[in-house]
A and B are shown apart, each in its own frame.
Chain A
Amino acid sequence: MKRKVFSFGILIILLLILIGVNINMGSVAIPFLDIKDIIFNKDSSSVYANIMWQIRMPRIVASLVLGAGLSLSGYMLQTFFHNPIAGPFVLGISSGAKLLVAALMVFSLNFGFYISSVDMIITAFLGSLIVTLIVLLVSSKVKNMAVLIVCGVMVGYICSAVTELMISLADDSNIVNLHNWSLGSFSATKWSDVMIFTPVILISFLISLVLTKKMEAFSFGDEYATSLGMNVKMFKIILILVSSILSSTVTAFAGPISFVGIAVPHIMRELFKTDRPIIIVPASFLGGGVFCLLSDLVARCLLAPRELSISTVTAIFGAPVVIMMLLNKKKR
């Protein structure tokens, strides 16, 4: 119990520090004293205040909330497949969402109609659902988890290739944006976007909290869960739907972001030393936010003023975690 309180404490402290640093750092540094002024003295007219409220804060909230959603989505997929390396990116679900969203964007640019954030979410959701169904079909045919993962990666590649193809063919000035988006980025997040994805992700988080008891029972096997009186079929449908909503929302707003879904739940298991969903669900949610906040900071500042894609950074942090996990698994 002590360990859990302590670990949550660490996460929250990290979160606060990272928010501070994120506001502070950038092509224009906002001194901490000014930050204090802006927050407490309601000094909203200065350049600093503008940068902070209009540019940095939405981006911080985006990395925080979207990162949390992504990590949670990964954890749910891992529960679903009884496999710790499952995640929306690995299974190609993010790429599926990306493909449909890119198609929609290209389509709208060519035909000149406006797409709303909600449209984006729905399109991304459809994309991820299609890929999810493909993956489920494969998983019902082959029981081997390695094959499933390889299939997911392949589907992801196909989706990415088609996306690239469409971007190359799309002949428009917005192409740079589109390209940036397809690599994944929290930049250019607006408050209006935040107002849409935050409720979606928070509601999904609440649903997943309610599902923790079932997740735990389910983690001991489908049949065991059935014997405990659980409606396993229904549970699996809800699980995959919520997970898809989470990952597609993230993809719609920030593009596909790799490894967060796998790495963060694993780091949380190691940090909290438990497998219990009742702990790991909130921990992954919080941890995903912290992880993306840090990654975004690195992405923005490492080669400032140039900006790295968020996936580049999450991959550099996340991939070694996954490799370590595989090595550990081999050892046992």
Chain B
Amino acid sequence: MHTLSCSDLAIGYEKNILIEDICLSIEEGEIAVLVGPNGSGKTTIIKTLSGILAPINGKIYLDQREFSEIPLSERAKKISVMLTEKKEYDYTSVFDVIAVGRYPYTNVMGKLGENDISVIENVIKEVGIEDIKDKSFNKLSDGQRQKVLLARALVQEPSVLVLDEPTSFLDVGSKLEFMKIIRKLAKTKNISVLMSLHELDLAYAIADTVISVTKDHKIEKKGTPQDVLTGEYIAKLFELNGGSYSLSGGFSFNEDEKACINVESEQCNEKGFEMKNKTHFIMVQGTMSNAGKSLVVAGLCRIFKEDGYRVSPFKSQNMALNSYITEDGLEMGRAQVMQAEAAGIKPDVHMNPILLKPTDDVGSQVIVNGEVRGNMRAREYFEYKKTLIPDIMNAVSYLSKDNDIIVIEGAGSPAEINLKENDIVNMGMAKMVDAPVILVGDIDRGGVFAQLLGTLELLEEDERKRVKGLVVNKFRGDKSLLDSGIDMLSERGKVPVVGVIPYMDVKLEDEDSLTERFNKKSKGLIDIAVIRLPHISNFTDFDVFEELREVSLRYVSSAKELEDADLIMIPGSKNTISDMKWLRENGFEGVLKKLSGNQKSIFGICGGYQMLGLDIEDKDSVEAGGFIKGLGLLDIHTVMKKEKERKQVTGTIPCLGGPLEALSNLPYEGYEIHMGVSSKKTADGEAISGEKLTDIENTSSKEFRSEEVVVQKDSVYGTYIHGIFDRKEVVKAIIDTLAEKKKVDINTEEYQDYRAFKESQYTKLSKIMREHLDMDAIYEMMDLRK
């Protein structure tokens, strides 16, 4: 039954229509929440539907009766409204304030009868303000005041309760308490609730229906919170322009979520997001960065897969320069790509809804659901991230549809006590989906007992209870020496140790840009040097070379180190202009020019390719802004564009000259991801129209491009394609060429296809982990019996 409804309603002030065509209906016990920017007209809707403001056109129905047909006093017994107001209540007691709500029921002198008093007393008990009922209203805190005003609305014994931003001035605890009361009223007394809210996270948690009102006064969306409050839609509705936005009020959703789950867990889960019961969660958290979480997650994914489960990895937020582009052209962290491969499924952006790519020490590019939201300072993001919770929950909910198990990876340490507020990656995440947690410590770097016990110590009581198992990772040597420590560890931590995993020598892609491999300086037979740009990006392009025994891959930070290299790579960059400057300031420019004169092979990818060109122009300040001369080794000219180009591409490399001639006509597959457009241009500045050298099959759009895939001049090469080396033919051609030039003998025939190689690594990983992990215990944590 529709308690309150309206159709084709036009509302506004003094005949000036503000919002038209409003069609709403709120049913018994339903909680409908209006969201939208300031000035969108939420309050006008509230006032009209509560009868304070007369509609300009159209009709409002209350229990199937038209508003105007209901006598005012009778209507007041059915609808009550709670507005924000500013009366001076010098001497009015709480009881007196509430008693005013009995207005429609009392006689002309307002005398309270026995019934009135018992109704008031009941409501006071229900709202939980017995202790303050004789206090002066003036002396109350904001939270208490709102509860009193709610009580005043409730003593009208309404079937419809209308509230205008009831929680705006309240602290987290009060907001939550208030919402709990509202929820209880709606569900136990079948009161229909219509309210406007500014806190989207609250709206998400409490609403049955969310109604969005846009800045230009239109009711745009109506639906469940999951449908309406997606990150993208919120950004659109509130016109968030990346970094310029930060949520005021400092509201923490996590605390809310915690309390919410503790108090009304079924309702919260049922309300918060759709999740099938059969999806099981397990979360892997580490005591520190690089504790080996990513690999453990990948191993678990592989094990579950092997055991016949449909499994997906998940990490709410990745902080890495390294990104991957999915088939849908969306950007996500590489670690989840690797884990998805281990799980035997295609990478999906939902596996990593939030990706942060650091642009400098204090700022990052924020990518949500694969789309760039803009650059944000760390502090800004800290505030912003709580608005991303719906995105995270949507992603989990999406994944849970097709998976039996979701293995969640944490980030960093869960015990960063300064960052715990608004946590969405570690314990906050675990609470959101009620996942058991395995805590992984890194024994290789020492102090593993302190790591594990210290982390447990710093967790809150409820968080500690979530930790169901400890894992000692990266162990080398004789395990029997460790046994006594392990016993004490489970005893002191009161959490069982479910495994001691040895140092695993598996060659799988690393997540962070700060991995050990940057320190690798030893030289092999063939020496490939990758310039370690300060804003290096997508360096997994070169991983394929790491697997070759006779090839050393070095990341170099000084120009001197380039001298002996057989091949110099300039990788992609998140900030091309700034990195170009860095190259110049650190003497790379001269060295590179000299080496290219010596016919040394130089290969630039993406940003590196742009830097090899004549100039880079950033008119629209896409990155840092401005104009910079390139190295001038390739005749190209680059203009930064706001739109990020990204697509997966396959094709053949065009005919090339120079030392790497052997690459000509080889097939490749990879992806492009950049924010610039380069055109060919001679040194004197005259642009040559792009010559159609090769046809590239563009998998996403099936269009043909008349642009060179790989540009070459002398021994210098450049391309926009990441992953160009991933095919064995390409690698073989490069290594063969370099070996021949250097006159060393390398047998490249035995090189495996990189994919097949990785597959073998995953199998190896699962084998080792099965051996050293108590998988039965882990299945038990997830309520799964093998």
Contacts and interface: CB of A to CB of B under 8 A. Distances in A.
Given A226-B52, A227-B80, A213 B75 contact: no
A183 to B, nearest CB: 33
A82 B86 CA distance: 11
A269 B50 contact: no
A224 B80 CA distance: 9
Contacts of A231: 72
Contacts of B71: 229
Contact of A212 (B52, B109, B138): B109
B90 interface: yes
B81 interface: yes
Interface string A272-309: 11111010000000000000000000000000000000
Interface in B59-105: 71-77, 79-81, 83, 85, 87-92, 96-97, 100-101, 103-104
A224 B109 contact: no
Nearest to A272: B91
A223 interface: yes
Contacts of A133: none
Contacts of A226: 51-52
Nearest to B78: A229
Contacts, number: 78
Nearest to B156: A228
B110 A220 contact: no
A229 B104 contact: yes
Contacts of A220: 85, 87, 97, 100
Nearest to B85: A221
A223 B52 contact: yes
Contacts of A212: 109-110
A275 B92 contact: yes
B1 interface: no
A216 B104 contact: no
Contacts of B91: 269, 272-275
B416 to A, nearest CB: 43
B69 to A, nearest CB: 14
A217 B79 contact: no
- Chain A, interface residues (CB within 8 Å), range: 20 to 34
Given A224-B83, A227-B79, A227-B81, A213 B106 contact: yes
Contacts of A269: 90-91
A246 B583 CA distance: 89
B72 A278 contact: no
Interface residues of B, number: 34
Most buried by A among B79, B89, B91, B92: B91
Interface in A170-222: 209-210, 212-213, 216-217, 219-221
Interface in B7-63: 47, 50-52
B362 interface: no
Contacts of A278: 109-110
Nearest to A277: B110
B108 interface: yes
Contacts of B79: 227
A115 to B, nearest CB: 38
B109 A216 contact: no
Given A220-B87, A221-B87, A229 B108 contact: no
Contact of A275 (B89, B101, B109, B156): B89
A274 B97 CA distance: 11
A216 B83 contact: no
A269 B87 CA distance: 15
Contacts of A104: none
Most buried by A among B74, B76, B83, B90: B90
A11 to B, nearest CB: 17
B87 A213 contact: no
Contacts of B85: 220-221, 224
A229 B72 contact: yes
Interface string B528-540: 0000000000000
A230 interface: yes
Contacts of A273: 91
B273 to A, nearest CB: 35
Interface string B613-648: 000000000000000000000000000000000000
Contacts of A210: 108-109
If over half of B's interface residues share one DSSP class (helix, strand or loop), that class is named, otherwise mixed; here it is loop
Interface in A247-289: 269, 272-276, 278
A278 B73 CA distance: 21
Contact of A223 (B77, B80, B83, B110): B83
A227 B51 contact: yes
B168 to A, nearest CB: 17
Given A223-B47, A278-B109, A228 B83 contact: no
A276 B137 CA distance: 13
Interface string A43-75: 000000000000000000000000000000000
Most buried by A among B72, B80, B89: B72
Contacts of A82: 87
A212 B103 CA distance: 12
A81 to B, nearest CB: 13
B771 to A, nearest CB: 70
B340 to A, nearest CB: 55
A213 B100 CA distance: 9
Nearest to A221: B85
Interface in A99-134: none
A119 B87 CA distance: 40
A229 to B, nearest CB: 3
B113 to A, nearest CB: 14
A216 B100 contact: yes
A228 B156 CA distance: 8
Interface in B230-257: none
A228 B103 contact: yes
Contact of B110 (A84, A216, A229, A329): A216
A276 B98 CA distance: 13
A216 B47 CA distance: 21
A79 to B, nearest CB: 12
A226 B162 CA distance: 14
A221 to B, nearest CB: 5
Most buried by B among A84, A229, A278: A229
A270 B623 CA distance: 66
Contact of B52 (A217, A227, A276): A227
Nearest to A210: B108
Contacts of B100: 216-217, 220, 228
A224 B79 CA distance: 12
B283 to A, nearest CB: 48
B731 to A, nearest CB: 74
B195 to A, nearest CB: 14
A202 B80 CA distance: 36
A221 B47 CA distance: 13
A275 B93 CA distance: 9
Most buried by B among A223, A272, A273: A223
Contacts of A228: 76, 100-101, 103-104, 156
B90 A275 contact: yes
B346 to A, nearest CB: 56
A278 B103 CA distance: 14
A84 B88 CA distance: 10
Contacts of B109: 209-210, 212-213, 278
Given A212-B109, A216-B110, A273-B91, A229 B52 contact: no
7 contacts: A217-B103, A227-B81, A229-B74, A229-B77, A229-B104, A275-B91, A275-B96
Given A229-B71, A230-B103, 14 more contacts: A84-B88, A220-B87, A220-B97, A221-B85, A221-B87, A223-B47, A223-B52, A223-B81, A224-B85, A228-B101, A229-B103, A229-B104, A272-B91, A275-B96
The 3 lowest CB-CB distance pairs between A and B, nearest first, are A229-B76, A213-B110, A229-B72
